[in-house]
Structure 1
């Protein structure tokens, strides 16, 4: 198990990039709005395209898609190009109070911010036993969602 902590935007981005680059099969992400994730950056776009090109599946859950639609045109193109491998969902009001933020890769890696307004968090790599509770939580969040961002909805 490789566990690292971070407390800055750069630290979060570095750990997220490590998780994206190490994942091959699934990426499960939750954040209230993905505003600080830089999913539309050139670097993350390249990592996600490589992941999806090899058949990976990406699932995102958010309370709102507004920031992705407004600030991440590369991500919207990615959604258009790989919509068959990407599913974006929106939470129901019943769980709209959740404020943490995390990414689970291949059920072996997790990058987690303790609160979405702050960059303090941890990353754990190569530890399925450490990601089990996060994966179970993600699945319970997923069960409380509805369809969200889609290529056709954004006009792409």
Structure 2
């Protein structure tokens, strides 16, 4: 079993590295919350490949956000992934009452977490093999998820 580790970060590059490590560590479920996912590298080929590999193992991917606009405009690879794995990927948008939430995090299997303390800043921390560190983000994500509505659904055209 892996020893619990915690690392702080404060640059886009460090955040990307920690997010990549969290994604690589995921086995069954990946839950993400961010106001718009502009900082998350969801549109890169490396992230797409890692997400496809995760989803090919029947994992679940859930994203909660305030607005899907950035994803819709800048992440065509991710939208294709949502379409290809629509039975395993779900995206939800928060109601207006939750739009004041400004943190950002990624939780993998309730063991690993990468979180930024405020979505306007890159300062944050990553914890691996640490269920205790995922407890608060898990409760926050579950509460956000329950209040949110489905968005970015795959549609069938041409029928």
Determine which structure has more spread, i.e. the larger CA radius of gyration. 2
2:38 to 35, 39, 45: 35
Secondary structure (helix, strand or coil) at the match of 2:27 reads coil
Q: Tell me the distance in 2 between the aligned counterparts of 1:128 and 1:16.
A: 17
Corresponding position of 1:55:
58
Corresponding position of 2:27:
24
How far the C-alpha of 1:154 sits from its partner, in A, is 10
Q: Deviations over 1:74-101 (max 9, x none)?
A: 0011011111100000001111111110
How far the C-alpha of 1:150 sits from its partner, in A, is 1.2
Runs of 4+ in 1 over 4 A off after TM superposition: none
Corresponding position of 2:106:
103
Coordinate RMSD, CA, aligned? 1.4
Q: Decide which moves more: 4-13 or 129-138.
A: 129-138
1:84 to 66, 84, 87: 87
How far the C-alpha of 1:23 sits from its partner, in A, is 0.4
Corresponding position of 1:73:
76
CA contact (8 A) 1:69 1:154 kept: no
How far the C-alpha of 1:153 sits from its partner, in A, is 8.5
Residues 29 and 154 (structure 1), Cα distance of their counterparts in 2 relative to 1, 3 Å cut: farther
Gaps of 5+ in 1: none
Q: Tell me the distance in 1 between the aligned counterparts of 2:141 and 2:54.
A: 20
Secondary structure (helix, strand or coil) at the match of 2:23 reads helix
1:115 to 106, 114, 118: 118
How far the C-alpha of 1:56 sits from its partner, in A, is 0.6
Q: Decide which moves more: 124-133 or 14-23.
A: 124-133
Q: Tell me the distance in 2 between the aligned counterparts of 1:107 and 1:153.
A: 33
Corresponding position of 2:138:
135
> Structure 1 length normalisation: TM-score?
0.96
> Structure 2 length normalisation: TM-score?
0.94
In the comparison of the two structures, how many residue pairs are matched?
Answer: 155
